[in-house]
Amino acid sequence: MSRQLKLELQPGKSLGDFILGMTISEALNVIKPGNVAVINKVDIIFNDADPLSIDIVLKLVDDGVLLRFAPSSQRLRVIEIFDVSRLALSYRGSIFSSSDNIASFVNIYSKFGPSYPGDFNAKKSVYHLHYPGLSFSFPIPPKFNTLYSEGTELPVELPDGSTPLVSKIFIYSGLQMKTPLSVLPSQNEEIIICPNIGVYFSKKNCILTFNSTPQDVLSELGPPSKIYHKEEDNMKIHTYQVEMTPAPDYFYNYFHLGIDVLFDSKRNTAKKYIFHTNFPTHYEFNLYSKCSFKILDNSNNSKTIFEALKHLAEGKFIPNNTPPQQPKSSPSTTTNDNINAIEANNSNGKQQNNNNNSSNSNNNSQSPLSSSPSSLSILPSSSSMSSAVGASSEIQARHDAIIDQSIQTIHPDMKWEEVQNIFGKSGKPVVNNRGSISNPFGSTYFYGYPGIIFEIMRNQYISSVCLFDDSPIYVTDLMGSGVNNHNQNNSMISGMNSHIDSIENVY
């Protein structure tokens, strides 16, 4: 063999630079040329029709390794070495298996120490030896099956004097190979989204709104992965305006959070927030990590919840029985205006969405907060907290207490039909195919509601969500007082499309 990867094995933790709990993007970055010894070929295996039905797998074809990622969290859950002969494997600094000397049962037992009797699969004639976070598979000649059927004997030496050679190795978290534990980093961020209002980051305990400046975003989220200035808006024609803006809007890209923030160049405040699900069936797969978000509906209950979260972020007392805030404008007017932009005069969609908003209004009599929000004490300032870990746990507990778990929210693993069950039926979508030559994944479809746009893939899963401020004051100032409602809302749609155009131009 011309070359052979040498990888250090750590039970329950890692194989070389591949660490349990890492994201798909992080694993692919390890595979890039220059980061490790040359990995010639990588296959990505997934279910196109239903990406959540099976693991997402990175197959290192020439190196005999499968990296299995949980389809929902997109975190590495199991590392499988399906061809041990293609690797040089070491443990605690010394090589125990290579192409010239494949590890035998005796070698493994000597290297890793004694263990309980393993499992014997009589149908496949394979014996599995287990250690915490690590399992080895040994093929057994069928003629010796009866010796190990009861699972009490170890195949240290077969009756013919030979010892079985290891064929597969599994690295996972936990004690059971069949039920590996999920490995999620403590910094995994859960995000609460309230249309037309803003975003709450649970771990960081902070709020970003449409009044947030670049300095606010930097202070709360840190420096972005990249800053991109928009150069062209392919949907500008729908605004019926030809004048040039003095300066382009600009993006803060947070690839590790799965978030983009678009800033208005005139106001220097946040204009849109975009959240990505990173499904392998989308054009931008591997550009972002999966964003773990929960989207509240457009009811007044949601505004009450978000106001309580704002109090939590500011360290204020959360009042009991907080009355729902009244909307600034008529729900029916806001809904109809924004659906017009998406559905192109689909009157049926407008009526259905109005009915949905009416039903939401009727539910405002019941408090959307937890049963006893008054039990939440005033949040101490950061200087009075004993430790960052303790403060984070306290904040998380209060965050969980604020949100009534019976309230329906939208999360990244939902299908479009489930989204409509919460937000109501939408009208006709805006279609984006990105050019059939460069995009093998097919078109995506943009559906809009007041303050929010969903990008849906052909398998009916969400690929991204765009949060924007569609309040009349902001839209009038942005577009000019003489622009009608149809043009105003087409401007909101163009924002999502121009965001995609921007990403395509940069990457």
Three-state helix/strand/coil letters over 259-294: EEEEECCCCCCEEEEEEECCCCCCCCCCCCCCCEEE
- Largest Cα–Cα distance of the chain, in whole Å? 92
Enter the DSSP assignment of 480: -
How many Cβ atoms are within 10 Å of 482's Cβ, its own excluded?
A: 7
Confidence at residue 59, expressed as pLDDT on a 0 to 100 scale: 97
Confidence at residue 427, expressed as pLDDT on a 0 to 100 scale: 86
Confidence at residue 362, expressed as pLDDT on a 0 to 100 scale: 43
Can you tell me whether residue 415 is helix, strand or coil? strand
Confidence at residue 343, expressed as pLDDT on a 0 to 100 scale: 37
Calculate the CA 447 to chain-centre distance.
20
Confidence at residue 312, expressed as pLDDT on a 0 to 100 scale: 87
Distance CA(77)–CA(27), nearest Å, equals 12
Block means of pLDDT (10 residues each) for the chain, 507 residues, are: 81 95 91 75 93 96 95 94 95 92 91 89 91 94 82 81 93 85 71 93 93 96 92 56 69 94 94 95 89 87 86 70 43 35 38 44 44 35 43 59 74 96 91 71 89 94 93 46 38 47 42
- Residue that the structure tokens 């009915």 belong to: 355
Domain boundaries of the chain, sorted by first residue: 5-172, 190-506
How many Cβ atoms are within 10 Å of 42's Cβ, its own excluded?
A: 16
